[in-house]
Amino acid sequence: MGATEVLVVGAGPAGLTMANILNRQGVAFRIIDKKGGPVEESRALVVHAKTLELLNRLGLAGRAVEEGQRMGAVALFSEGKPAGKISFLDDGADDRTPYPFALLLEQDKTEQLLIDGLEEAGGRVEWGTKLLSLTSTPDGVRATVRRPDGSTEPIEAGWAVGADGASSPVRHSLGLVSSGGTTPVVALPPFYQDHANWLPLRYAIDGLRSLLFYDGSLDAANLEGGWRDSLWFLGESGSIDCAMSGND
């Protein structure tokens, strides 16, 4: 029977961050995930100042900023007309945080950054390892997991951390209910796939139909498929000069 101080279930951003923290503090842990390996797609793309401050404590913020794209403001357009602006910069921001900006860094890149940091410090994720059951014991928890070769292993731990997503087996084992639902996602038309360097987010949410672009301007008349209900232009500086024309 395996034994550890903390069992982390789920190797997404939350679980990987927890594993990095435990590793730096010298706490014995195991982190498992039923997936066969790291994700290759992004379900999120913005890292905010407080998250960067945490990554800095893990020695990873510099790499994140180097790999990502700083964003000072977002300009919103609807039906070809300016609809508003969200600024991430204000007076005194530099005094409150060393990261006075939002950082465009896709989720898969953020996770890989955390995996690299964990492995460089001697830790590792046990991929392809699925939690089958989790029960309380007088000294903590007992878990049963299925390993990649199909065998099962009991694990005794003082604590279990549930970082296993919306369908969390950890949450279900505690009898906790999660309210909410899912939003259908559709693939981008070929035009956008051909210009994927513009898109830190590779999909649009059906109904909102939002597209994200980096700095610069775009002639909406050149867009295809009626996907210009809502365009967000992302700029590193607080002022964004974007031009749009054309309506469906």
Residue 8 is assigned to a structural domain of this protein? yes
Mean pLDDT, to the nearest integer, of 5-11?
97
C-alpha angle with apex 89: 84 to 92, nearest 5 degrees? Answer: 140
Is 198 found in the same domain as 164? no
Which domain covers residue 187, as residue numbers? 71-100+183-235
Query: Are residue 28 and residue 114 in the same domain, yes or no?
Result: yes
- Over residues 176-212, the pLDDT tens digits come to 777 766 554 444 444 444 544 444 333 333 333 334 4
- Does 32 lie in the same domain as 117? yes
Q: Are 152 and 145 in contact (CB under 8 A)?
A: yes
Token pair for residue 165?
């997503």
pLDDT of residue 55: 96
> Same structural domain for residues 141 and 189?
no
Same-domain check for residues 36 and 125: yes
Are 122 and 209 part of one and the same domain? no
Both 118 and 215 in a single domain? no
Lowest mean pLDDT among 93-97, 121-125, 172-176, 177-181: 177-181
What is the average pLDDT across 127-135?
95
Is residue 216 in a domain? yes
Whether the CB-CB separation of 203 and 238 falls below 8 Å is answered with: no
pLDDT, one tens digit per residue, over 27-79 is 999 999 999 999 887 777 889 899 999 999 999 999 999 998 887 777 666 66
User: Residue 9 and residue 24: Cα distance in Å, rounded?
Assistant: 18
Does 66 reside within a domain? no
* Domain assignment of residue 59, yes or no: no
* Same structural domain, 32 and 118: yes
Q: How many domains does the chain have?
A: 2
Angle at 245 between CA 244 and CA 248, to 5 degrees: 120
Residue with tokens 């409150």: 96
**CATH label of the domain that carries residue 138:** 3.50.50.60
Mean per-residue pLDDT over the chain, rounded: 76
Is the model's pLDDT at 241 over the cut of 50?
Answer: no
Out of 28-37, 83-92, 114-123, 232-241, least confident range: 232-241
Judgement on whether residues 31 and 136 belong to the same structural domain of the protein? yes
Q: Are residues 34 and 111 in the same domain?
A: yes
Same domain flag for 192 and 154:
no
pLDDT for position 183: 52
